[in-house]
A and B are shown apart, each in its own frame.
Chain A
Amino acid sequence: MYAIIALVLKELLALLKDKRSRMVIIVPPILQLLIFGYAASFDLDRLPYAVLDRDGGAGARALLAEMAGSPHFDERYRLRDVAEVARLIDQQEVLMVVQIDPQFERRLQAGETAPVQLLIDGRNSNTAQIVRSYATQVIERFNSAWGARASSVPLAQLEPRSWYNPNLESRWFFIPGVVGILTLVVTMVTTALSVAREREQGTFDQLLVTPMQPLQILLGKALPGLLIGLIEGSLVVTLAVLWFEIPLLGSLGALYATIGVFLLAAVGVGLMISSLVSTLQQALLGAFLFMVPAVILSGFATPIANMPDWVQWLTYINPMRYYLICLRGVFLEATPLTALWPHLWPLMLFATVNLGLAGWLFRHKLY
């Protein structure tokens, strides 16, 4: 026991004594949560658009006023000529051009369907879809206002209501995910690199010939990463709740159970990587090879349900998948610990297998 404590202390000193390494461990996660918390959002506003009104009637003016009044849109140009449209979109001056044809007013007065063309830059197809749905909403609002003037109530209407996130704020979805990614990075990389460094410098061999049991060495290497991960995790969660005002509806117990189990798994991955490599460069490569797929296939930004079946199967061996489900559940849905169990046991299994394998590799591999 004393040996483990000594090793943990030595590890923490090695990590925190050097000013530069202290900086890279502590500052980035906090800074990144602040920056990414603001950046990661699909809520668009002030979208630049241009108008080509070839009708100029009262109906067209009312529709354009409705659009200009929307907080999502920002009118930049009034065009006179169709020829200008292509240049504005090509040069990314605007994301959308609203084009109203000459017959617009006549059709509207005649009670026909009047078309409005929305020309949208599709280079980023996700943004394009969001722009399209915002513009369609504006037109629907116009339609119901116009219909009310003609005193015809629509026969039926859709009443959408969202659970857990009534205003569908992107940030509520992404920030728990960012918390997840940051805890992964810090914990896994600290563990992987610190062992790889000892291997490269040869001090790991010295550790192996001390009277310490391999299990003790393993624990001594795992605990500092776990500790740092827990502290960083608490910091970013606090920031998410107090600064970004993300609702934390679930219990702290459930939150820490999730983080704790996941950190064990992350430390396990770090130790696995470090037991397979002999230089820091290889450890770095290993960390990236795990981290990038783990993040992209976690459902962080693109839903798992949209992936092809074989990739969906792959996500079952990705600890991030379970972690993000649990984090979002605890934050937004107040999921109790018992309901998290279906996602927690795979994480536990993951942690056990990784730590076990890493321990075995520690004993059986010596460069």
Chain B
Amino acid sequence: MINRRLRALLRKEFLQVWRDPSSIAIAFVLPVFLLLLFGFGVSMDARHVPLGVVVERPSSVSESLVAAFRHSDYFAPRPFLSRQAGEAALQANQVNGLLILPQTLDEQLSTGQGAGVQLLLNGVDSNSARLLQGYVRGVFEGWLARQQAARGRAGATVEAQPRIWFNPELRSRNYLVPGLMVINMTLVGALLTALVMAREWERGTLEALMVTPVTLREILIGKTLPYFTLGMGGMLLSAGLSILLFEVPLRGSLWALILFSALFMLTALGMGLLISVVAKNQFVAGMAAIVSTFLPAFLLSGFLFDIDSMPWVVQLVTHIVAARYFVTILQTLFLAGDVWGVILPNAAALSLLATLFFGLARRQLHKRLE
């Protein structure tokens, strides 16, 4: 399959990569830089959340509630003397929530009237606000159960005992890092190939190539293989970093990780090539690469946002985002293990997309001038 013509093409492409360091930077420096920055930087795990507390009339009861918050690692309670001062701090974003223990708390507790403890939240970041509300509720219910028990009023209650499989401590890094690997590889794949054909169109060198006996298939292979090698190098580097530095457990097998990464790399390169072949102009190809890679891989892959909760039209769109399949594969491979029932359908979808991209690229490429 590798004949003299193809070998010459490959050699030319490798030389070009070698002499413009930006390709090597894309394959190796970009993923490492991004992975380090995000692996250390991005986290969903909030700790020491500033929570304002207003105690309108201090007593042993109010003190026990405040102490419950102080003992939790999640909160950093900050006392305020008045409701106004607390609300001002909430408005200025100095605290994320404000807990108000009313004057009547003590009295209502002892008479059994049912006291209301108000929690004000800054809802601009709705997700954080919701998580905060959940944590406050957890501490509050714990305190309440102790109070009820102390007053001999322990009633029948159902207690939730959540167990989180695959990631019991809910370390967000364990799912963010595999997700970031997907984003990295999407970027690398598209960046490497999106411009290669467009560049030759623009400079007119593709015309020169067209008059040689080289076949279109050989051109496409010649444009893919060198970048595939580069991309896989970067991929292995990121996988190594994820496992060794970020201590993400790899519960599946290594060969599966490499095999399916190779499949995804091909898909990503195929998309880049297709962009390049269709655009024929580096500016358009560059814009298209930016528009169609980073944001879709970030927002539509299930990396952050649950696909099943999206409207069905948007869910349809996610099916042409290759990153979607690879996010599922990687999260399963890393955290759950070799669950073939999940991995194989997704791998099949990836193969389909790869065939589609290369097939379209081949069809759009003609040995004639317009």
Contacts and interface: CB of A to CB of B under 8 A. Distances in A.
A140 B121 CA distance: 20
B153 A152 contact: yes
A354 interface: no
Nearest to B150: A155
A121 B339 CA distance: 14
Given A46-B309, A189-B290, A126 B116 contact: no
Contacts of B46: 303, 305-306
A193 B287 contact: yes
B201 interface: no
B155 A147 contact: yes
B43 A302 contact: yes
B158 A122 contact: no
A125 B44 contact: yes
Interface string B284-301: 101111110011001110
Interface in A116-143: 116-130, 132-133, 135-136, 139-140, 142-143
A129 B170 contact: yes
The secondary structure that dominates the A interface is: helix
B84 interface: no
Nearest to B286: A284
A143 B157 contact: yes
A328 interface: yes
A2 interface: no
Interface string A47-91: 110000000000100010000000000000000000000000111
Contacts of B23: 281
Contact of B156 (A108, A132, A165, A329): A108
A77 to B, nearest CB: 15
Interface in A345-367: none
A307 interface: yes
B175 A123 contact: yes
Residue of B299, B310, B332 with most partner-chain A CB within 10 A? B299
Pick from B162, B314, B336 the residue with the most CB of A within 10 Å.
B162
Contact of B159 (A109, A116, A282): A116
Interface in A141-158: 142-143, 146-147, 150, 152-158
Nearest to A169: B126
Nearest to B187: A288
A124 B191 contact: no
Nearest to A136: B160
A172 interface: yes
B195 A284 contact: yes
Interface class of chain B by DSSP: helix
A155 B144 CA distance: 7
A161 B191 contact: no
A21 B283 contact: yes
A164 interface: yes
Interface residues of A, number: 119
B175 A44 contact: no
Contacts of A46: 308-309
B233 interface: no
Interface stretch (B130-138, B239-247, B352-360, B361-369): B130-138
Contacts of B294: 288, 291-292, 295
Nearest to B287: A24
Nearest to B46: A306
Contacts of B163: 117-120
B213 interface: no
Contacts of B49: 305
B284 to A, nearest CB: 5
A20 interface: yes
A157 B153 CA distance: 15
B323 to A, nearest CB: 13
A154 B114 contact: yes
A111 B156 contact: yes
Q: Interface centre among B130, B170, B191, B305, by most A CB within 10 Å?
A: B305
Nearest to A132: B162
Interface string A1-26: 00000000000000000101100110
A121 B131 CA distance: 18
Contact of A123 (B122, B123, B332): B332
Nearest to B334: A123
Given A90-B342, A116-B159, A133 B131 contact: yes
A301 B174 contact: no
Contact of A122 (B42, B167, B313): B167
A305 B40 CA distance: 13
Given A113-B159, A121-B165, A142-B158, A154 B300 contact: no
Interface stretch (B30-38, B224-232, B257-265): B30-38
20 contacts: A18-B281, A24-B284, A38-B310, A40-B304, A42-B126, A90-B341, A107-B156, A108-B158, A116-B158, A116-B161, A120-B162, A122-B166, A132-B160, A132-B162, A147-B155, A153-B112, A161-B118, A165-B129, A189-B290, A284-B290
Given A125-B44, A308-B40, 10 more contacts: A18-B281, A21-B284, A28-B287, A118-B162, A129-B131, A152-B153, A160-B137, A162-B121, A305-B49, A328-B124
Interface of B: 20, 22-23, 25-26, 30, 33-34, 37-38, 40-47, 49, 90-91, 96, 105, 108-109, 112-131, 133-134, 136-138, 140-141, 144, 147-148, 151, 153-168, 170-172, 174-175, 183, 187, 191, 194-195, 199, 279, 281-284, 286-291, 294-295, 298-300, 302, 304-306, 308-311, 313-314, 317-318, 328, 331-332, 335-336, 339, 341-342
Interface of A: 18, 20-21, 24-25, 28, 32, 35-36, 38-48, 59, 63, 89-92, 107-130, 132-133, 135-136, 139-140, 142-143, 146-147, 150, 152-166, 168-170, 172-173, 181, 185, 189-190, 193-194, 197, 200, 279-285, 287-289, 291-293, 295-297, 299, 301-303, 305-308, 311, 314, 328-329, 332-333
The 6 closest A-B pairs by CB, nearest first: A162-B123, A165-B123, A122-B167, A311-B41, A122-B164, A133-B134
